Amino acid sequence: MATADSSAPRSTARRLEQAKQVEARKVARRSFLRVSAFAGLALFTGSLLSGFLGFFNLRHPTGFGGVVTVSKARVPQPSGTPERVSDGKFWLVNLAGAEGDVLGVGGAGGLLALYWKCPHLGCTVPWNPGFQGAQVNFPGITGWFRCPCHGSTYSRAGVRVFGPAPRPMDTMLLSVNGDGSVNVNTGKITGGAADNPLRAVAYNG
Ligand code: FES
């Protein structure tokens, strides 16, 4: 009788201990599964976000929408032929003094980045080197921007002189680097206005 009485509590204690161990293993397994699920979700979300940023080119925009660098060799001379910068969709112009100021606002010359999208209906505006200003009542001037779609015509500073466009050509934020190259931020566009010539940035090469 004495043996049976002492073994019963030991057996109960062992069963309790085993039950505790089983429960602990279940908790550990559930925790592991939960952590794995969160990790998987985080990875999935990360790859989706990365794909989104990549698709819309938001991480490090290059070309149009970002900063485009124009080497010193491509910067026109004052009064020279404007440089077409295709990857930034702009014309780089080097104004001599108040050149292109057809409305009398003034200007000391320098570099201007003109967004080539026509403010009328969006056609690409080319530089027309042979265009005679006399055709639009500005005799003595040769070479202006002229839109092929509806004839809007702009001075060398992008100021509208003729046609249906509601305003001058838009300008982009421009800065000069120490090595004579130029950075144009094609994501920073300012609506064109009569003061376009005043926006020119001094350039000494
Ligand atoms: S789109 Fe340029 S004048 Fe109409």
Supply the residue whose CA is at minimum distance from atom 3 of ligand 1: 150
Give start and end residues of each alpha helix (H) in 56-160.
none
Question: What pTM does this model have?
Answer: 0.72
- The answer to whether 83 and 105 have CB atoms below 8 angstroms apart is no
Which sign, positive or negative, has the C-alpha torsion 99, 136, 84, 66? positive
- 12: Cβ–Cβ under 8 A, 6 or more apart, which residues? none
Q: What is the pLDDT of residues 112-167, one digit of tens each?
A: 999 999 999 999 999 999 999 898 888 888 889 999 999 999 999 999 999 999 99
Q: Which residue is listed with tokens 């060799």?
A: 73
Closest CA to 70 of 84, 58, 54: 84
Closest CA to 113 of 76, 150, 149: 76
Cα three-residue angle 23-29-32, rounded to 5 degrees: 145
Whether the pLDDT of residue 54 is over 60: the answer is no
- Lining residues, ligand 1, CB within 6 Å: 118, 120-123, 147, 149-152, 163-165
- What is the residue extent of each domain of the chain? 1-59, 67-199
Whether the pLDDT of residue 57 is over 60: the answer is no
- Where on the phi/psi map is residue 200: left (φ > 0), alpha (ψ -120 to 50), or beta? beta
- Burial class from Cβ neighbours inside 10 Å (0-12, 13-18, 19+) for residue 151 reads middle
Out of 115, 124, 152, mutate this one to test ligand 1's pocket (max ligand atoms within 8 Å of CB): namely: 152
> How confident is the model over 3-17, as a mean pLDDT?
67
- pLDDT at residue 38, as a whole number: 52
Dist CA 22 CA 43 (whole Å): 32
- The answer to whether 139 and 102 have CB atoms below 8 angstroms apart is no
Token readout for 196 is 């376009």
127: CA distance to ligand 1 center in Å?
14
- pLDDT at residue 106, as a whole number: 93
Which residues face 184 on adjacent strands? Answer: 68, 174
Q: What is the pLDDT of residues 80-117, one digit of tens each?
A: 999 999 999 999 999 999 999 989 999 999 999 999 99
121: CA distance to ligand 1 center in Å?
5
Supply the residue whose CA is at minimum distance from atom 1 of ligand 1: 121
What value does the mean pLDDT of the chain take? 86
- pLDDT at residue 12, as a whole number: 74
Q: Does the domain at residues 67-199 carry the CATH identifier 3.40.50.720?
A: no
Whether the pLDDT of residue 43 is over 70: the answer is no
